[in-house]
Amino acid sequence: MQSPDIKKAKILDDYIIHLTFVNGEEKIFDLKPYLKYPVFKPLQDKQELQSFRIVDGTIEWSCGADLSPDTFYLESKTLRNNAIM
């Protein structure tokens, strides 16, 4: 089964991303573990971190960094009633 596409994303504090998927699910994704990889290093700059767009159901940053929709969906934590599950 294919993971749903990202519909909306908002960068929160400490490299946390609030994701809304096309199926209505809301999840929280922690980007911090990825910052050690060279392609994600530019995202340590908060301005670069904010410079993203949603393309083909995933997040792409202007520096060229991206992850698959599956990674965002499967590696994030479900958000229910503003509480992380």
Segment 18-34, tens digit of pLDDT: 999 999 999 999 999 99
The per-residue pLDDT for 2 is 78
**This model's pTM is above 0.85:** yes
Ranges of each domain in the chain = 6-79
- The tokens for 21 are 């998927």
pLDDT band at 8 (very low <50, low <70, confident <90, very high): very high
In this model, does residue 85 exceed pLDDT 90? no
Instruction: Decide which of 3.90.1150.10, 3.10.350.10, 3.30.2020.10, 3.90.78.10 is the CATH code for 6-79.
Output: 3.30.2020.10
Q: Where are the alpha helices (DSSP H) in the chain?
A: 46-50, 69-74
Cβ atoms of 26 and 75 closer than 8 Å: no
Cβ atoms of 40 and 34 closer than 8 Å: yes
**Calpha distance 9→66 (Å, rounded):** 13
